[in-house]
Structure 1
């Protein structure tokens, strides 16, 4: 009876799933540790190259290739054969036990840590705000061109100027974000920055300096 009870406990599905989950988490942590070690190895080699390049630039002595071949590349940390074999072995084990032999899925799961982020809520929120804002913008533009609207709102010229001045920082931020985004993704186009420097900012400062006294209401003496 005792043997049967132990046998049934060993085959408990809940305990098996819990143990499998713990093993999966341990494998992912071990794999990430191997990747960190690989990145640390690459960082050290890159540091040697940059230091030797700086040394060559200052002393005018061509030393980089000779030193790298004789001292750095012959050291134990320069070779990644053992580390690469351990990473490949972990990927193969994870694929065979957790992804039904799918190596591509196993690599993606190991490198992301099993956490997948979705942007459904942010996409829905952005679409909702755009759906509300665009009709309101179009309606405002249409009403602004009507003579009745201008006649019923006192100080129309001053309000229009104030809103146009407030629009300049928004346009500036948008173009600046576009320029930074292009720089991050590797696009070498300089159109947003040039457009900002040559047209938007001078025009905005010109309006601010020359048109503000004329647009503000003057008090009678």
Structure 2
């Protein structure tokens, strides 16, 4: 794919994310997206063939970001490091891709009618893998015996809210939008709540406790 094609696809997906987030799938028209992207309407069809394909591309893009955010959970033996990196990554998905995040949330809240089965299956598989990793940490005595699924649900809800409820956050904080520093503060506070609430222990402490 040429650089021009990649640029145009990225431009269209970004414009589509904003329009789908504002109007919803049913009310969105391709001409709306074309105008927002500053491209001719035929260009949208050239790259994506249909509104449904474009919508799926928006959804798949944000799901890929969510999968990437989960990588620390699989690549770290230390739950404190893994959970901290995961929470920071999830919060900053909401910061960098707020519109796509809203589209994803709306899709899920409506029963995922446009989500391809293979993507839904992969999401379930990834979630089960995350739960298994958390259970491994629990079994190793690295954290308290919390419910892995509900821990993930809590993190999802807490991080996603910065995209989905940005209007409410702006109203309460008195800021038109959150700064990068605000997002860092939010990620740090959520991390502290999760680590302390789940009784996460450094691996060195567990080794010392077992040796006593």
TM-score norm. by structure 1 comes to 0.25
Task: Report the TM-score, using the length of structure 2 for normalisation.
Answer: 0.26
Rg larger in 1 or in 2? 1
